[in-house]
């Protein structure tokens, strides 16, 4: 059943910063957020390892909010459709890892997921210009993928701005997501550059009051996008 899509600005807490052995309770803490961001890492595309399809299937069954799956894996052409079949609302793979990104996006959409594509800080945004329409969301990484708790990279903002302008020029309603180092201090900068969906791990799970942290991030993003 298609889910009702939340309005921008969307806050997607990353469960990478959660306590993995208390996942059910950790998911319950983010019930007021928009999507639960699930970082799948294979210790190959990135030098870190998290969880695979079986765990994500249990997270999907347990989460009070829809899943936003971020695949930091080699060979997403083979593995990504399985995450859509589990019922993830969105499945994002890395452009750098995909052999046939357009064919893969079409398969994900065909299964009923939102198709997302992510680019690392050094990957040029221009590589997506001609295929923007094939995706529902673009993830501009604001850190090198692999680990939570890194510093936000402002040097990725010109690329985000240019992609947002290009999407507007083409009349596309694709979402723009940022991931890495998003906090009370950095979210306005990303919102001003045109991001509408914000992944935050340590800023949410590191807070004493997780629900208040989500609300604060959303308020800061909204204020910054209204300023633009
Ligand atoms: C990093 C992951 C992020 C990570 C963000 O490779 O993709 O989703 O959890 O963590 P913070 O918000 O702590 O930078
Ligand atoms: Zn992520």
The set of residues, in sequence order, having a beta carbon less than 8 Å from that of 213 and lying 6+ positions away, is 200, 203, 204, 207
Does the pTM exceed 0.95? yes
Ligand nearest to the CA of 143: 1
Residue 82: CB within 6 Å of ligand 1? no
How far does residue 177's CA lie from ligand 1's centre (Å)? 12
Quick one: residue 69, left, alpha or beta (phi over 0 = left, psi -120 to 50 = alpha)?
beta
Return the pLDDT at 206.
98
Q: Which of 39, 42, 68, 196 is catalytic?
A: 39
How far does residue 68's CA lie from ligand 2's centre (Å)? 9
The set of residues, in sequence order, having a beta carbon less than 8 Å from that of 40 and lying 6+ positions away, is 50, 51, 52, 56, 69, 70, 71, 72, 73, 83
Q: How far is CA 182 from CA 5, 75, 132, in A?
A: 22, 28, 24
Q: Which of 34, 68, 179, 196 is catalytic?
A: 179
Residue 16: CB within 6 Å of ligand 1? yes
Look at the block and give the residue holding tokens 């300023």: 227
Residue 37: CB within 6 Å of ligand 1? yes
Residue 48: CB within 6 Å of ligand 1? no
Whether residue 39 lies in the annotated active site: yes
Residue 181: CB within 6 Å of ligand 1? yes
pLDDT by 10s per residue, the chain, length 228: 567 899 999 999 999 999 999 999 999 999 999 999 999 999 999 999 999 999 999 999 999 999 999 999 999 999 999 999 999 999 999 999 999 999 999 999 999 999 999 999 999 999 999 999 999 999 999 999 999 999 999 999 999 999 999 999 999 999 999 999 999 999 999 999 999 999 999 999 999 999 999 999 999 999 999 876
Q: What is the DSSP string of 102-113?
A: HHHHHHHHHHTP
Q: Which residues pair with 176 in a beta bridge?
A: 138
Look at the block and give the residue holding tokens 């923007």: 132
How far does residue 207's CA lie from ligand 1's centre (Å)? 15
Whether residue 179 lies in the annotated active site: yes
Q: Is 180 annotated as a binding residue?
A: yes
Instruction: Give the pairing of strands 137-141 and 175-179.
Output: parallel
**Distance (Å, rounded) from C-alpha 30 to C-alpha 23?**
11
Return the pLDDT at 203.
98
Q: Is 37 annotated as a binding residue?
A: yes
């Amino acid at each position: 059943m298609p889910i009702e899509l939340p309005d921008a600005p969307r806050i997607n807490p990353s469960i990478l910063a959660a306590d993995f052995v208390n996942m059910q309770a950790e998911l319950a803490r983010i019930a007021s957020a928009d999507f639960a961001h699930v970082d799948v890492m294979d210790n190959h595309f990135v030098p870190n390892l998290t969880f695979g399809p079986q765990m994500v299937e249990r997270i999907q069954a347990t989460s009070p909010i829809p899943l936003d799956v971020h695949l930091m894996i080699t060979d997403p052409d083979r593995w990504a459709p399985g995450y859509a079949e589990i019922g993830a609302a969105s499945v994002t793979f890395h452009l750098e890892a995909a052999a046939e990104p357009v064919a893969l996006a079409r398969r994900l959409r065909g299964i009923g997921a939102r198709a997302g594509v992510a680019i690392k800080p050094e990957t040029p945004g221009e590589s997506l210009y001609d295929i923007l329409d094939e995706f529902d969301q673009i993830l501009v990484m604001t850190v090198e993928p692999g680990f939570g708790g890194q510093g936000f990279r402002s040097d990725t903002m010109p690329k985000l701005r240019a992609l947002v302008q290009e999407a507007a020029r083409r009349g596309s309603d694709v979402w723009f997501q940022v991931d890495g180092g998003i906090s009370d201090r950095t979210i306005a900068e990303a919102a001003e550059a045109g991001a509408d969906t914000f992944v935050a791990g340590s800023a949410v799970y590191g807070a004493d009051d997780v629900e208040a942290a989500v609300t604060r991030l959303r308020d800061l993003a909204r204020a910054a996008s209204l300023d633009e």
